Amino acid sequence: MKEYYSISLEDEEAQALLDITLLTDEPIKSFHFNGNIDGAIEVDELDYREMFWYDNHHVIGLYFSDSKISILPESLGNLSFLRFLVINSSSIQYIPFTIKNLKNLELFHFYCDPEINPEVSIDFPDIFKYLTSLKSFEVSGYYLIYIPPSFSELESLEELILEHCLISFDHSNFIRFKDNFLSTPVLELPIDYGKMKSLKKKIIKNIGLLDIQT
């Protein structure tokens, strides 16, 4: 066991939090996880920039709010017990491929307030086919995101919410035109929902698809 300040965690998990701390220059606020994900991310204490929840010597949840860091460390993939990851009005736009190791991740949410942050681009790596426990995925706010092909393989997904953002399904277009683009408003995504047999809630609202600008 390795100590992350006063919390005893598995060595690799403590190291992941230390790696985040090196980027933030301050320790991450800790909370004991009570078993309720929705309740955890709605508590009044969510005015800290970086927070984590723990239980039985494992990191269960991570929350970034108005964080000034722009990347998540590769060691985040060592948080194998992580069940929820929330990024709220943050500059974070680099998602490491190692997140594919988060087999227990159930909730993956992004929120961006245009009054606080400028537009944020997120180039998702092709990780979704590995996130076999993911139940809730949400992107809401001033984002331009690339969604890789494996997204449609989320067989356990129950909730999909995409609001007020721009989306690209073509990686080359995303890279070439993300800073100079046109978008076409859409009411539906051009993906195959056939494998999403668990999907119960789907909200596609005020989104646009990236167009090639001539």
For residue 136, the model assigns a pLDDT of 97
φ/ψ of 161, rounded to 5, equals -130, 120
Domains of the chain, first to last: 2-211 (3.80.10.10)
The answer to which of 12-21, 66-75, 109-118, 145-154 has the lowest mean pLDDT is 109-118
Q: Which two tokens stand for residue 25?
A: 């220059």
pTM of the model: 0.92
The DSSP code sequence of 16-84 is: HHHHHHHHHTSPPEEEE--S-HHHHTTSTTTTSSEEEEEETTEEEEEEEES----B--GGGGG-TT--E
What value does the mean pLDDT take over residues 196-203? 94
Task: Report how far residue 117's alpha carbon sits from residue 112's, in angstroms, rounded to the nearest whole number.
Answer: 7
pLDDT digits (tens, 9 = 90+) for 107-153: 999 998 766 666 788 999 999 999 999 999 999 988 889 999 889 98
Query: What pLDDT band is residue 13 in, cutting at 50, 70 and 90?
Result: very high
How many residues comprise the chain?
214
For residue 214, the model assigns a pLDDT of 41
pLDDT digits (tens, 9 = 90+) for 76-108: 999 999 999 999 877 888 899 999 999 999 999
DSSP reduced 3-state for 8: strand
Q: Is the confidence at residue 172, as pLDDT, over 90?
A: no
φ/ψ of 99, rounded to 5, equals -60, -15
Q: Is the confidence at residue 188, as pLDDT, over 70?
A: yes
Q: Which two tokens stand for residue 208?
A: 């646009």
